[in-house]
Structure 1
Amino acid sequence: MKQEKRWLLMETDEQIASRLSAELRVSPIIGKLLVRRGLTDAESARQFLHPDRSRFYDPFLMKDMEKAVARIRKAIADQERIMVYGDYDADGATSTSLMYLALQKLGAQVEYYIPDRFAEGYGLNGPALVQAKERGFDLVITVDNGIAAVDEVRIANELGLDLIVTDHHTPPEVLPDAYAILNPKQPGCQYPDKMLAGVGVAFKVAQALFGEVPEEFLDLAVLGTVADLAPLVDENRLLAVYGLERINRNPRPGMKALLEVSGLEGKEITAGHIGFAFGPRINAAGRLDSATYAVELLTTEDEARARELADFLNERNQERQEISAEMFEEAVQEVEAHPEWLDGRVLVVAKEGWNAGVIGIVASRLVERYYRPTLMISISEGMGKGSARSIHGFHLYDSMSSCRDLFEHFGGHKMAAGFSIEVEKIGELRDRLNRIAEEVLTPEDLIPKIDIDAELNLLDIDIEFVQTVERLAPFGFGNPSPRFQLSGLDLERCRPVGQDGAHLQFQVAKRAAKLAGIAFRRGAEADLVNEWPRVDLVGELAINEWNGRRSIQIIMDDWRPNAIQVFDCRHVADKTRWLEEQAGKKDLSVVCFHSESLAEVSRALQPYPWQESHVHRVYTADADGSLGDPQSIGDGHSNTEVHADFLSGDVVIFDLPLSLYQYEAVLQKLTGTYRLYLLHGPSDRQWVEQQKRYLLPERKFFAGIYKMLQEKGSATCSDLQKRLQPAYHDAVDLVLSVFVELGFAVRNGNTYHVNKGTNKRALEESELYRQRQARIESYTSVISKLMDASSEQAVADVLRLLTAKSEGAQGA
């Protein structure tokens, strides 16, 4: 089953977008995308499009920066021992590496320490501080943690350890009594950018210590910033732009080794590569072993050691993937075994023995699957260690703060959190969070949404357009790659690709324009998609380079059947049998152009006793295409409103029309979402060809009737019919009527007399003759357009009519 998603075409202030486009001399689409990202004045938009190193903020705008820098400089001058106390995720590992390398370059006596995820847990802990004091450290600098460590900082103070906290997480109501706190989110901090990652705060400390932007650490800054999903706007955008530039131009040994093991050597590295290739491998160290391996990788100058460490992390990442896949299946089984959990709005899933290092990854996958805020808990010895992920509309940190009495420890932000809890309190936590969610989440909030920046016409897209959009890169959290909607595309190919058919590959077209697409981890949906001849897509446009060729592709987020689906069923040998089969599956609206078809259609639609009952409606089209009240068949319940002015749902064109005008008039009544089946086939062609012969006999037949009339001088229609085979009887009346109209004969009662004084005239001068000729030409056009056309052409012709109608309605 395909997960339902809400497609939301985001509104844009067209006036502001147009003004920006003109002032910046950029394309209208760039103007819209800038407005969508909150950039509504030319100066801020210009800074976004043209990043500048000079726009890094003064680090001393951050509260306590002067105090912290003075203490660090004193420690360096006095050769005090400094401990950088880190964290085990990618942000923590890069923060640790950056702070360690910066202090080392300044001549500090510095070491780093990262707590063991499994033995010590997240953040500062008392025993580690005691050990630091015993080992002779005088100053501890936390990176990416410490803002909530009130008790631990008190222990440090009691030990005589000076402690500087550098962090970016949401501060609690009571701050720790540290020597200095560097966190742009803390009360009273005037720093302009509140959304730095932990590595961003560490970078600002290095900038303050060096007195300039520390270029050599930009690569570490971008790695941690992107991996921690910090929004890529404001100063984070600068870190991303120049950090990626450094990775691509001059990667440090550890980065180079990561490129090699990730298969990215020689490629232009983007923020996406960091998120999907670098970040997971750095995180794998702390999830399964110790994050010190990741820090060593990022700080070593030894290329051989870097490659050895990168190989190790790559192996651990593969192992992490296997563990998380197994845990995900177990978590799904746990949820399916408790269907009542899905009646609520928050999932709390707990099990003994789950690997605490990957529960956050699995929680994210559960959110993808069930689209609910999800708390994943690993239980060991009566305690649960948890990781939580949220959805839009549910502030995780605030909600968990309302349950803080249940936790041993918790911390986090709007979309993610970590915590520990006693096992016996898990049930109460589930109940309380669900009550909170009932108040803030609507049923609609539980349907995942896709924000769409703009709807595009495939015919208007080229490589130059995609390159223009890429001016907004690097893309990531806070500056997502623009999503576009493309509608009414013909599905040319859809197939699973990759290992075990995990991914889905598309090719779609609109007239001459074609577009390839890929959807990751969606290969199982291939059979479903192949049921749709036309699709709408939402995704991100990119330029694909393969064997020296550049082409556009779409990285797909979602797809759905286009509202207009046309199926060519003209090949069906037995129309009645086909109609019987469909009648047992769905409600049908069947359009007949000939009254002779009604009895055949009605018999086919009568349900068998063992079939599910459906409601079917049969319409007869008049010559002008208008539909009368339908004949209803079946005793089921139909959701389709009965209305002679429109058709929707599953609509069948059963036979051939009298004219293309009649056919097009019926198509104009299709509205909303519908599937149109073209069922007219060979038997209908035979009927029309027969009608053409009946409509107008050959010229020699006219000559023969005139000769017979001349021989007798006068005759009735009946007299002439007696001399002909029955198949020609109807034609005699037509011929005589034409003769009277042209003056070749005079009618007196039932008798026709030859008018010998009449001049020669062409048969085409008769209005009746011309009418019959026009009907024959109409039938010929019907056969040519609706029967002789190939399947592709027949469907394309119908779609062209329907699209023109839709576009005309939008224009009106």
Structure 2
Amino acid sequence: MSVTITRRAISDETSSHSLAGNLPSLLKRIYLSRGVSDDKELQRSLKNLESWQSLKGISEAAALMADAVISGQRILIVGDFDADGATSSALGTLALRAMGAAWVDFLVPNRFEYGYGLSPDIVEVAKNSRPDLLVTVDNGISSIEGVKAAKEAGIKVLITDHHLAGEVLPEADAIVNPNQPGCEFPCKSTAGVGVIFYVLCALRTELDRRGWFVPPREKPNMASFLDLVALGTVADVVGLDSNNRIFVHQGIGRIRAGKARPGILALAEVSRRDPARLAAPDLGFALAPRLNAAGRLDDMSLGIELLITEDPNHARHLASQLDGLNQERRDIEDSMKEEALRDLARLKLDNTVDGNTNALPWGVCLFQDDWHQGVIGILASRVKEKMHRPVIAFAPGNESEIKGSARSIPGFHIRDALEAISTKFPGLILKFGGHAMAAGLSLKEKDYQTFSDAFDQEARRLLVKAQLEASLMTDGELSLTDLNLDTAEMLREAGPWGQNFPEPVFDGVFDLQEQRLLGGKHLKMMVVPEQGSDWIDGICFNVDSRRWPDTSVRKVRLVYRLDVNEFRGRRSVQLMIEHLEPLS
């Protein structure tokens, strides 16, 4: 796969700006290239959070929940089995209990038995708890039949979700979703945990209005739950608009101050991260995978229990279990990735025509009957990163069905593509859902090849060949005076960085002084800037061990992030290398 390195430019819309004059020039350039032209967009205090009032349905939701709390009704939260769903479930459970709800519990569908969302089968399970009110978090907007089943059983339903709505909405008692038709809430990238946070804030206001909070019943400080909101927001890879950056910044601030949930502190401990120096990438690449491992391989109830426990020792025990599950997940992923790449190599060979060995499908489908259903999403991501084309990985589901997890590339809206295929081939896709860059679906196994061909054709219809070439966007070359620990520290604190607000990445030419392989797949290097003299530590993860190390290479072009390496109390700058290209 060829890679084009492109440097970010400052758009004409932001060339005239009102950023503070004392902002370092490097940081000013980075912000402007991300479309930030006003200091207001960089404010990270809670007073700058978007108000909940413009969320459609939130007044009805608050009233519904307030009625349930005050009258002592049984409230059951139905979550999703990923980190957003887990943090949402934990937040709802903890906050409702803090507000004086008499009975609150959670239920998370086991992905291997029930699949995603509030299905009729899950309603049957929920009925065992005799709930008066079901509250969905991070799911429900497509649960037409599940809501119907709950209503027929005499159970009230409140849906809180953030996924795209279909043409028909469930007939719930209230729906809060910034992406439902007619909702004027401007922050459409709010994660599921952010949506339930807003609903709970509205509930607290409604309960206060009704005079519920009288001694000894206290009104909870909603800011105390922002560590959960930060973790769920980063883990779900939603766009970090200015509102989500406030959520993440405030949540990380609580973690750094030692005020986080015992479970989050325990996750940091098993991840070998210092809570006092935690940053958004640590949430996304260290804590979230361990939390997600519960839903991928076992039962996400384990992860939610970790997040709601008040006992630090119990939290450490649960975090250790999740760490073990995550290692198991990695081993399964590595095996599946090897099989997938072998399949792609055969596919490439089978499609070779007149010497053209680049005839891979534009939309790639992969399936093995022994693949793990909980890991196919990660597998699709890994293959997508390597091949730079839309990928759907399938694993066996129930009976004669297979379940797929899809990941896409810029310019190819994966959910819309699935909808187009479903329209063209009625009945081919049993069910699907998702958004632009990720989706899930299920098929009959016998229809796999038909769907695979249809997916490839849809990709060819919507994409042009140039879009299949990976492009790395960088913030240009760092000067020698900026290649230092101070700059790395400044950039670390200038975020939080994440989806649609990417962490600064730079490119440059370096002399390669030393190189060695760590763990059989990570290349450790010492490099010197082309016009410099200081040696700088660098590491490139998951290199091709058949290609590296290569002692014949003396000069390389690197695309990298600046990071801070801490070892035995000594802190130094380190290059986290995302692309390595030999020059000589």
Q: TM-score under structure 1 normalisation?
A: 0.66
1:313 and 2:322 are equivalent in the alignment: yes
What do the CA deviations read for 1:497-531 (whole angstroms, capped 9, x no partner)? 2x235333242233323322111112626646543
Give 2:540's match in structure 1, choosing from 519, 542, 551: 519
Residue 134 to residue 308, structure 1, CA distance change in 2 (3 Å): closer
2:88 alignment counterpart: 95
| Worse-superposed segment, 70-79 or 231-240 | 231-240
Mapping 1:130-141, distance limit 5 Å: 130-133=124-127, 135-141=129-135
2:189 alignment counterpart: 195
1:696 alignment counterpart: none
Question: Aligned pair count?
Answer: 554
**How far has the Cα of 1:219 moved from its partner?**
0.6
**How far has the Cα of 1:460 moved from its partner?**
4.6
**How far has the Cα of 1:495 moved from its partner?**
2.1
**How far has the Cα of 1:104 moved from its partner?**
1.1
| Aligned-partner Cα distance in 2 for 1:462–1:207 | 43
1:9 alignment counterpart: 7
Q: Is the 8 A contact 1:496 1:526 kept in 2?
A: no
1:778 alignment counterpart: none
Q: Is the 8 A contact 1:92 1:144 kept in 2?
A: yes
Corresponding letter in the other structure for 1:32: R
Mapping 1:163-562, distance limit 5 Å: 163-211=157-205, 214-249=222-257, 250-265=259-274, 268-339=277-348, 340=350, 342-380=359-397, 381-404=399-422, 405=426, 406-487=428-509, 489-497=510-518, 499-509=519-529, 510-522=531-543, 524=545, 527=548, 530-562=551-583
Q: Is the 8 A contact 1:221 1:243 kept in 2?
A: yes
Corresponding letter in the other structure for 2:390: P
Corresponding letter in the other structure for 2:369: E
Secondary structure at the residue paired with 1:473?
coil
Q: Is the 8 A contact 1:69 1:205 kept in 2?
A: yes
Secondary structure at the residue paired with 1:398?
helix
2:99 alignment counterpart: 106
Corresponding letter in the other structure for 2:121: P
Residue 359 to residue 312, structure 1, CA distance change in 2 (3 Å): same
What do the CA deviations read for 1:327-364 (whole angstroms, capped 9, x no partner)? 22222222233324653201111121321111111111
Corresponding letter in the other structure for 1:8: T
2:55 alignment counterpart: 62
Unaligned runs of 5+ residues in structure 1 are 566-812
| Aligned-partner Cα distance in 1 for 2:546–2:474 | 22
| Worse-superposed segment, 328-337 or 272-281 | 328-337
Secondary structure at the residue paired with 2:323?
helix
Q: Is the 8 A contact 1:10 1:454 kept in 2?
A: yes
| Aligned-partner Cα distance in 2 for 1:338–1:14 | 45
**How far has the Cα of 1:203 moved from its partner?**
1.0
**How far has the Cα of 1:292 moved from its partner?**
0.4
| Aligned-partner Cα distance in 2 for 1:544–1:444 | 37
Residue 335 to residue 15, structure 1, CA distance change in 2 (3 Å): closer
| Aligned-partner Cα distance in 2 for 1:347–1:327 | 15
1:597 alignment counterpart: none
**How far has the Cα of 1:534 moved from its partner?**
2.1
| Aligned-partner Cα distance in 1 for 2:289–2:319 | 12
| Aligned-partner Cα distance in 2 for 1:231–1:60 | 21
Residue 324 to residue 371, structure 1, CA distance change in 2 (3 Å): same
| Aligned-partner Cα distance in 1 for 2:320–2:308 | 16
**How far has the Cα of 1:365 moved from its partner?**
1.2
Secondary structure at the residue paired with 1:111?
strand
| Aligned-partner Cα distance in 2 for 1:268–1:172 | 42
Q: Is the 8 A contact 1:220 1:243 kept in 2?
A: yes
Corresponding letter in the other structure for 1:123: G
Q: Which protein has greater RCO, CA pairs closer than 8 Å, 6+ apart?
A: 2
Secondary structure at the residue paired with 1:454?
coil
| Aligned-partner Cα distance in 2 for 1:396–1:329 | 25
Q: Is the 8 A contact 1:455 1:486 kept in 2?
A: yes
Corresponding letter in the other structure for 1:270: A
What do the CA deviations read for 1:476-497 (whole angstroms, capped 9, x no partner)? 212211111223x222222222
| Aligned-partner Cα distance in 2 for 1:164–1:416 | 25
Secondary structure at the residue paired with 1:338?
helix
What do the CA deviations read for 1:214-266 (whole angstroms, capped 9, x no partner)? 11110111111111101222211011001011112122211122122112246
Residue 379 to residue 130, structure 1, CA distance change in 2 (3 Å): closer
**Among the aligned pairs, what percent are the same residue?**
36
| Aligned-partner Cα distance in 1 for 2:16–2:157 | 52
Unaligned runs of 5+ residues in structure 2 are 206-219, 352-358
| Aligned-partner Cα distance in 1 for 2:442–2:56 | 31
Secondary structure at the residue paired with 1:521?
coil
Q: Tell me which stretches of 4 or more aligned residues in structure 1 moved more than 6 Å.
A: none
Instruction: Considering fraction of residues, name the structure with more helix.
Output: 1
Mapping 1:580-591, distance limit 5 Å: none
| Aligned-partner Cα distance in 2 for 1:13–1:337 | 44
Give 1:122's match in structure 2, choosing from 110, 116, 125: 116
Secondary structure at the residue paired with 1:402?
helix
| Aligned-partner Cα distance in 2 for 1:417–1:547 | 43
| Aligned-partner Cα distance in 2 for 1:29–1:459 | 11
**How far has the Cα of 1:471 moved from its partner?**
4.2
| Aligned-partner Cα distance in 1 for 2:43–2:566 | 26
**How far has the Cα of 1:410 moved from its partner?**
0.8
Q: TM-score under structure 2 normalisation?
A: 0.90
Residue 373 to residue 523, structure 1, CA distance change in 2 (3 Å): closer
Corresponding letter in the other structure for 1:356: Q
What do the CA deviations read for 1:670-693 (whole angstroms, capped 9, x no partner)? xxxxxxxxxxxxxxxxxxxxxxxx
Q: Is the 8 A contact 1:222 1:244 kept in 2?
A: yes
Residue 36 to residue 213, structure 1, CA distance change in 2 (3 Å): farther
Q: Is the 8 A contact 1:168 1:201 kept in 2?
A: yes
Of structures 1 and 2, the larger Rg is shown by 1
1:162 alignment counterpart: 156
What do the CA deviations read for 1:118-172 (whole angstroms, capped 9, x no partner)? 0100111112213433542111000000111112212222222111110011111
| Aligned-partner Cα distance in 2 for 1:551–1:445 | 38
| Aligned-partner Cα distance in 2 for 1:321–1:15 | 44
Residue 469 to residue 549, structure 1, CA distance change in 2 (3 Å): same
Corresponding letter in the other structure for 1:38: G
